[in-house]
Amino acid sequence: MTVTIYDVAREANVSMATVSRVVNGNPNVKPVTRKKVLNTIQELGYRPNAVARGLASKKTTTVGAIIPDISSIFFAELARGIEDIATMYKYNIILSNSDQNKDKELQLINAMLEKQVDGILFMGGDITDEHVNQFQSSSVPVVLAATYDETNSIPSVNIDYEAAAYEATSFLLDKGNKKMGFISGVDDTLINKEKYNGYVRAFKEKSLSLNEDHILTGDYSYDSGIEAVNQLLAMDDVPTAVFVASDEMALGVIHGAQDKGYKIPDDIEVFGFDNTRLATMVRPTLSTIVQPMYDIGAVAMRLLTKYMNKEEVEEKKVVLPHRIVERTSTK
């Protein structure tokens, strides 16, 4: 029923090896033969079976991507970068959501390995020894995107979160804000710790004292931003500036404050992180750290292709540049 390479060979009076050659663009085929084969491929409507090819060649030209949540604006943008470069290099992506759940992550890695992916792109919280073990239980290359690996044993693409947080905090401090708040993300991830470190360093270097009470935790969501700012506003000494670990939470902070009658940035300056599309979809528009999500995904995928081709890789830990974009949520 389905037409195979063998059918084509028979119809074209050549061997299946020859058909395979023309399908794969092998130059060792006489032009006339090639044409003949191409014709009967057309006639029969032959479509190569990638599964059979994968079994024979031990290459599937598909890579696995493990992502916390594709419906998050941040990761969706990252995924787009991955996908575009993957397409460029003729790879397909098997995409799965992990919700940053470690067991799920481990299980997904295994499932992708079973499917014989040629490589894995991993986005998540932290990389534990178990992750590393799981990765090494097969020899396919792995690249981390926007994900921290404390041991530095796995190639990765990130920005310098500590420096970014430091700069954002300094920016706010330099404007004369004495009382500052920080809405951090879920606090047990390394990336979040880096942001915290940067925040602290800015105070330290300016010999300013930092109020730990003004450091709150959210889950990166809009609602948690509203919640956090409400807590801040209920305090005796309301901060005049807030650095927020994600844009979406920052929107929550802005609206939460506005809903209580505070003026942004006059009463409170708000600074975000990521520069997702949300940053300009709010009034006042959000000053934030530009983290090139799309590029992180794209570079990570590109890096992975190099590993998959066994090319020489100059730097295994890529740190992409970040910068501050000043908009109207800060003075």
Partner DNA sequence: ATGAAAGCGCTAACAA
Partner DNA sequence: TTGTTAGCGCTTTCAT
What ranges in the chain are assigned the alpha helix state H? 5-12, 16-23, 31-44, 50-57, 73-88, 102-114, 129-136, 161-174, 190-205, 222-233, 247-259, 293-308
Measured CA to CA, the distance from residue 236 to residue 241 in angstroms comes to 15
Q: Which does 282 bind (CB under 5 to 8 A by kind): DNA, a second copy, none?
A: a second copy
Q: Do the Cβ atoms of 140 and 112 come closer than 8 Å?
A: no
Paired tokens of 169: 């905090």
Q: How far is the CB of 224 from DNA (least distance, A)?
A: 45
Cβ proximity to DNA: between 22 and 215 the closer is 22
Paired tokens of 241: 């500036």
Q: Would residue 100 be called left, alpha or beta, if left means φ above 0 and alpha means ψ between -120 and 50 degrees? A: left
Cβ proximity to DNA: between 46 and 148 the closer is 46
Q: Which does 24 bind (CB under 5 to 8 A by kind): a second copy, DNA, none?
A: DNA
Cβ proximity to DNA: between 56 and 234 the closer is 56
Q: Do the Cβ atoms of 218 and 185 come closer than 8 Å?
A: yes
> For residue 45, how many other CB atoms are within 10 A of its CB?
8
* Pairing relationship of beta strands 288-290 and 323-325 according to DSSP bridges: antiparallel
> For residue 61, how many other CB atoms are within 10 A of its CB?
16
Cβ proximity to a second copy: between 73 and 324 the closer is 73
69 binds a second copy (CB under 8 A): yes
24 binds DNA (CB under 7 A): yes
Q: Would residue 152 be called left, alpha or beta, if left means φ above 0 and alpha means ψ between -120 and 50 degrees? A: left
Q: Which does 115 bind (CB under 5 to 8 A by kind): a second copy, DNA, none?
A: a second copy
Stretch that binds a second copy, among 91-99, 174-182, 187-195, 231-239 (CB under 8 A): 91-99
Stretch that binds a second copy, among 33-41, 89-97, 149-157, 168-176 (CB under 8 A): 89-97
| CA distances for 305 relative to 97, 127, 300, angstroms | 22, 21, 9
Single residue of 39, 42, 57, 110 touching DNA by CB under 7 A: 57
Q: In which residue are the tokens 């290359």 written?
A: 141
Cβ proximity to DNA: between 35 and 317 the closer is 35
Q: Do the Cβ atoms of 178 and 237 come closer than 8 Å?
A: no
Q: Which of residues 35-54 bind DNA (CB under 7 A)?
A: 46, 48-49, 52-53
Q: How far is the CB of 200 from a second copy (least distance, A)?
A: 30
Q: Which does 251 bind (CB under 5 to 8 A by kind): a second copy, DNA, none?
A: a second copy
Q: Do the Cβ atoms of 108 and 117 come closer than 8 Å?
A: no
Stretch that binds DNA, among 6-14, 142-150, 191-199, 210-218 (CB under 7 A): 6-14
Single residue of 116, 128, 197, 231 touching a second copy by CB under 8 A: 116
In whole angstroms, how large is the CA radius of gyration of the chain? 26
Which residues form the interface with a second copy (CB under 8 A)?
45, 47-52, 54-55, 60, 62, 69-73, 76-77, 79-80, 83-84, 87, 92-97, 110-116, 137-138, 222, 248, 251-252, 255, 258-259, 277-278, 280-283, 294
Which residues form the interface with DNA (CB under 7 A)?
2, 4-6, 13-18, 20-21, 23-24, 27-30, 32-34, 46, 48-49, 52-53, 55-58
